[in-house]
Chain A
Amino acid sequence: MRTDCFFSTPLFAAATLLLFLLSSCENKEEESAACDDAIGCVEIAPDAPVKIGILQALSGDVADIGLDQVRGIELALETIDYTILGHSIQLQTEDTGCTKEGGANAVLKIIADPDAVAILGTTCSGAAASAAHAMSQAGLVMISGNNSAPFLTSITGKKAPDSHTGYFRTAANEEIAGKTAAIYAFKHLKITRAALINDGDIYTKGLTEGFRKSFEDLGGEIVLDASISKGEGDMSPVLDGVLLARAQLLFFPLFQPEGNRILLQAKNRQEFDDVVLMSDGALISSSFIEKVQDAAKGMYFVGPAKPVATPSIETLAKEYNAKYHSAPANNYYITAYDAAMLLFLAIRKSAVLHPDNSLSIGRQTLRDTLYNTQDHWGVSGILNCDEFGDCATPRFNILQLTTPALGVEGLHDNIKLSYTGAPTGEEKD
């Protein structure tokens, strides 16, 4: 083109104008692909991480259990190399403090982020009750490797009061734990008068209620059903009440330190020499045994059966040891591992990977995938998730601590009674 023509033609002006137009255009955000999920989709950009929340009790006297939960999750993350479908996993960890209000506030922090996909937690059932409600309303899924209160899923095959859609657990429903304890107390220990102490938490109340029902059904009498407050130090009034009620057995499924105090103060009173003491899985912990030592000798515990020793468990235990340079304080990390792995698998199944490497995860699709989990080979056993969110087969043992020095392992090995399956399941010595 001749230079004289170029500069004199309107082309020049048009080209200049075009520059302005182009410069004035703002980058528009890319529109997301249409999502036809009933709840909605989490759209993850090509280089963005998959966000998962962790709600565990990381402070207080149950912090070790919470910590074990976290470790189990971390082991699962290592198994999948911290990656799902090419996207890294970003964790947001919040402390529930093992309280209802702690769970309620902690879950808000996670669900505030609209990109949060799921929650792994909680440690305590009380925190789970309030957290699950908010989580369910926000459309997420929550899987716990530790919650066992029946109130969170189902009681006698019916939806429990605190059951919320999207809540799952790989820990067993302790609906039959109380029953197991009652059966053992009544049938094996020939106890006819039992006293119950809980701390107002739905977990402990669930256990005492379970015990009460079964014990009374068997013909026993609950002579005292008392509550103490978390953090309470002086247990003498309630212990007086036990004595006044002339209970033969005291079932006190409490957490530390309340459980510790009950035990130690009872053992300081001669009147309790003839009173059988029984607690639950919350105290099946090396820290408890270390703290109470011989005072707990002869004490009974009802807790979930230890997973069957499999190569997976051994491998996992080794990994735990290698990573954390210590033996696990309890087995709850296994169910936490299973819970995390179940979640990662479900995300992988539910997500849609787009050509540009972005991900779309339908929330309802993710829930449906979890509800449809059948015959999943977890480390803790075969997992089948029912309509209420229970994925593990319940199996409870009555344990007796006879040699505190053997610690939790010794306790687990001293099984007095095993009870599995549905509330009408088999009992086995």
Chain B
Amino acid sequence: MIDQQAPLLEVENLRVSFATPTGPVEVVKGLSFNLGREERLGIVGESGSGKSMTGRAILRLIRAPGRQTADVLRFDGLDLAAQSARQMRGIRGARISMIMQDPKFSLNPVMTIGEQIAEALKVHERLPRRDLQARVIEMLTSVRINDPERVAQMYPHEVSGGMGQRVMIAMMLIPRPQLLIADEPTSALDVSVQAQVLDLIEELVTGNGMGLILISHDLNLVARYCDRILVMNAGRVVESCAAADLHKAQHPYTQGLLAAQPRMQETRDELPVLDRTAGEST
């Protein structure tokens, strides 16, 4: 039996590399972390820090010629690295799902929203059509879409960005996964909608006892919605801390990122800029 105390996800020495004409380039360089059950982990870093690649590598979505290796990649007692492509397909969506950045590019433009959400469920479960429809409507209601019957008939271009992202969340959560990876789920959205979408994710995650990995470049946002934070730079974790202790961050890179953000009550004449020559980031 699976030990309930064991972490939901164990990652040890995860490496992702891409072949280039000048030799392989490692974008994730030996990443290790554990994710507890019902824990919310935030991964923060700038563009190119390898945070999205980490998210994809957990789902084994690194496409050739990219290569990923890991000493341990275990999800709920299951060795993900040893699964066949077919077995992986059974896991993706059903047990681990991922919310992508931009609903505009991630939804199928020629399928109605209802069909797409139903498809996510059909792949993993056999259900009579009536139940399927009921589950889709129920899911759309739970992501707070008014008039779900009408929205289910609409195409992605007919809904706003915030609504599109809610549709994505509905699609990802309908098979009731145990782990949700959200890769910049709100960076394409307005501030006011951002808070709604994140509150929604938080509510659904805690309500269903899921684990969450929130990938973002926004430190404060991650601190508001996660328990623990990993700060990545150039493929490595430079700092790991509890979200509440973010302001006590020790590493110069984390401090630099925090300081570079304008504040509501801004008194500084100039924002401090990260010294790129000092770190190993290029």
Q: Do A and B come from one complex?
A: no
Using CB atoms and an 8 Å cutoff, list the residues of chain A in contact with chain B: none
